[in-house]
């Protein structure tokens, strides 16, 4: 794979050569900024950190540095107050960036496999409950992180840690035995089970004996009671049929579907290890691990002997380390579980597992509807399957209006509708929640998935009209003099840095926002430039369009969104 010149590296090396070890190369790189205004240059180095050591005014330090710097590889380097501003050699940079993308295509910014695995605990819906918009965030954030990590050399392992165990199954069994209609459940399993779950929870709020019965049934389930296990298996099997259908709609697959129940026979080993290491103590009849710096201990077993989430998560963490030998283990779970994952890491650390440092909780904010929190227990949910159907229907209506003769309209509408829902979720910084708005999601205008998809399709149309072949221009030099093409080149050059930042911060929104910026930059260029007009710049203009199309498509792919050739 061809290595493209990194201008941050070039600036870092130039600065390191004249700073006499006052800063390390990594310190210099971290200080480099992109100026807010293009006329201030392409990179800026603030010298404030050198003022104390050199005992000089920052603006004088900047002037001294510029005098000593080699200008090789740059159009010019100037001192502006306390900054050293670097202006890139536009022709050299444009040729370097476009050539890399022309040669590598979708492999641009791809790092060779490093042999290390990243386990990603994602999606994890609860059995016997419908797949709602609330489950979407974990699913699409986890799926995007898997592709982002694959892009930088890791092997992702997608794990769907199904919520198929716990007291809620005791609650559901109580509800089924009290009001259940087997025929109705077989006909409409999830909706009927949801009705039972909502009804029993409403009653439990008034009658504490229901909660007690639910605990008793869950304990029976843990102890292998035949009736409890048969009902649980039935609820699980019916749920997976629906989940599989929705995952197919979303285009999401998993390497493991081992849910909480899978670890039922693996918890005794955890308890034995904790006991051997003398970490267990008793508190009000329950078995706990005391943790320094925590308000409460980690509750390992309740007084009735029932296990908890943390017991199963400890077993899961150990199983995953043994099975996958992960370099990182990522849990894409809502931010309300932050305390739980801090306890999980702390207990693993006390158990002597140094790899507890490789566990990362990746929290996210809530999806709301008209500003209100969604709740399955209260029956206030937005179901995902009908939402996808409505999004596809809206996409199809817009396609019919804009391009009625488009071939494969149904396929494209599905790609646009599903992509719109995913992109809207992923463009939000994950810690920020968002209010669900389907009309805004599926719009072809604004900062949306369809807007980015449409920019990509427009580029493919231009390239098709020109019969552009990337192999025909490889090896050429490229030079365009306008500011709009230069803005695109700088964005294309930044793509590898954006991917690394998204991985480092577990933040797919960095890619989504980048895709929006690139689509906007290209649309601005397209509005002011006759790309297909015959001139000495035509090859460079088409190469720029091709490179933009490649990177837009790859950005969307990393987010799990399709890029139709026509729309």
In whole angstroms, how far apart are CA 509 and each of 134, 421, 493? 18, 14, 19
- Sheet of 359-362, strand order: 155-159, 117-121, 328-332, 359-362
The whole-angstrom distance between residue 307's C-alpha and the CA centroid of its chain comes to 31
The CATH number that applies at residue 76 is 3.30.1360.70
pLDDT for position 189: 86
Give the residue from 88, 123, 143 where a domain finishes.
88
Q: How far apart are CA 360 and CA 348, in angstroms?
A: 13
pLDDT for position 379: 61
Mean pLDDT by 10 residues, the chain (567 residues): 62 94 93 92 95 93 96 93 96 95 97 97 91 92 98 98 90 95 89 90 94 93 93 92 93 96 94 97 94 95 84 97 98 96 98 98 93 72 91 96 94 98 97 94 96 98 98 96 95 96 98 98 97 96 98 98 97
The CATH number that applies at residue 514 is 1.10.730.10
In a domain, 332, yes or no: no
Q: Find residue 77's DSSP bridge partners.
A: 86
Give the residue from 88, 115, 135 where a domain finishes.
88
In a domain, 461, yes or no: yes
Residue with tokens 């779950």: 197
pLDDT for position 157: 98
As for how many domains the chain has, the answer is: 2
In a domain, 366, yes or no: no
Q: Is 222 helix (H, G, I), strand (E, B) or coil?
A: helix
pLDDT for position 378: 64
In a domain, 334, yes or no: no
pLDDT for position 155: 98
In a domain, 357, yes or no: no
In a domain, 235, yes or no: no
pLDDT for position 522: 98
pLDDT for position 62: 97
**Burial degree of 253 (CB within 10 A; 0-12, 13-18, 19+):** exposed
Give the residue from 44, 67, 88 where a domain finishes.
88
Q: Is the pTM of this model over 0.85?
A: yes
Please report which residue ranges of 105-225 form alpha helices under DSSP H: 136-151, 167-179, 182-187, 189-204, 208-222
Q: What is the DSSP letter of 427?
A: H
pLDDT for position 3: 42
**Domain of residue 64, residue span:** 7-88
pLDDT for position 304: 79
pLDDT for position 525: 98
In a domain, 277, yes or no: no
Within 231-315, strands assigned E span: 280-283, 286-289, 298-301
pLDDT for position 564: 98
pLDDT for position 4: 42
In a domain, 66, yes or no: yes
């Amino acid at each position: 794979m061809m290595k493209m010149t990194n201008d941050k590296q070039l600036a870092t090396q130039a600065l390191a050569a004249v700073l006499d070890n006052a800063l390390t190369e990594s310190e210099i790189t971290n200080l480099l900024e992109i100026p807010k205004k293009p006329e201030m240059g392409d990179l800026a180095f603030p010298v404030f950190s050198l003022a104390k050591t050199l005992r000089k005014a920052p603006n004088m330090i900047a002037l001294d540095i510029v005098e000593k710097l080699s200008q090789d590889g740059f159009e010019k380097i100037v001192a502006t107050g306390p900054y050293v501003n670097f202006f890139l050699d536009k022709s050299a940079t444009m040729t370097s960036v476009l050539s890399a993308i022309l040669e590598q295509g979708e492999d641009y910014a791809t790092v060779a496999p490093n042999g290390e695995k990243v386990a990603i605990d994602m999606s994890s819906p609860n059995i016997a409950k419908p797949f709602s918009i609330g489950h979407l965030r974990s699913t699409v954030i986890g799926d995007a992180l898997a592709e982002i990590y694959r892009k930088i050399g890791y092997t992702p392992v997608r794990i769907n840690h199904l919520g198929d165990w716990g007291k809620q199954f005791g609650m559901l069994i109580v509800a089924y035995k009290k009001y259940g209609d087997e025929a109705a459940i077989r006909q409409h399993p999830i909706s009927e089970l949801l009705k039972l779950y909502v009804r029993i929870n409403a009653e439990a709020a008034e009658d504490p004996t229901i909660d007690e019965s639910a605990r008793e049934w869950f304990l029976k389930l843990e102890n292998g009671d035949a009736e409890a296990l048969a009902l649980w298996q039935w609820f699980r099997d019916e749920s997976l049929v629906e989940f599989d259908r929705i995952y197919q709609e979303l285009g999401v697959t998993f390497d493991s579907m081992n849910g909480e129940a899978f670890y039922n026979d693996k918890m005794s080993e955890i308890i034995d290890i904790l006991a051997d290491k003398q970490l267990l103590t008793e508190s009000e009849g329950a078995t706990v691990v005391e943790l320094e710096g925590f308000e409460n201990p980690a509750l390992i077993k309740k007084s009735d002997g029932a296990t908890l989430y943390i017991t199963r998560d400890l077993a899961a963490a150990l199983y995953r380390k043994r099975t996958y030998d992960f370099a990182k283990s990522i849990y894409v779970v809502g931010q309300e579980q932050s305390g739980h994952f801090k306890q999980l890491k702390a207990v693993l650390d006390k158990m002597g597992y140094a790899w507890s440092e490789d566990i990362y909780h990746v929290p996210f904010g809530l999806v709301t509807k008209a500003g209100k929190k969604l709740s399955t227990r209260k029956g206030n949910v937005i179901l995902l399957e009908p939402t996808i159907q409505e999004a596809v229907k809206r996409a199809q209506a817009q396609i019919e209006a804009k391009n009625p003769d488009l071939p494969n309209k149904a396929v494209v509408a599905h790609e646009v509708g599903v992509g719109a829902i995913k992109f809207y979720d992923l463009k939000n910084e994950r810690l920020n929640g968002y209010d669900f708005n389907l009309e805004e999601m599926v719009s072809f205008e604004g900062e949306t998935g369809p807007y980015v998809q449409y920019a990509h399709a427009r580029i493919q149309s231009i390239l098709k009209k020109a019969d552009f072949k990337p192999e025909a221009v490889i090896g050429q030099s490229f030079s365009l003099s306008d500011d709009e093409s230069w803005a695109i080149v700088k964005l294309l050059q930044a793509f590898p840095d954006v991917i690394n930042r998204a991985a480092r911060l577990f933040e797919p929104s960095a890619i989504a926002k980048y895709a929006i910026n690139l689509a906007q930059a290209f649309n601005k260029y397209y509005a002011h430039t006759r790309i297909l007009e015959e001139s000495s710049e035509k090859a460079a203009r088409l190469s720029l369009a091709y490179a933009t199309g490649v990177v837009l498509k790859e950005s969307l792919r990393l987010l799990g969104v399709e890029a139709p050739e026509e729309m």
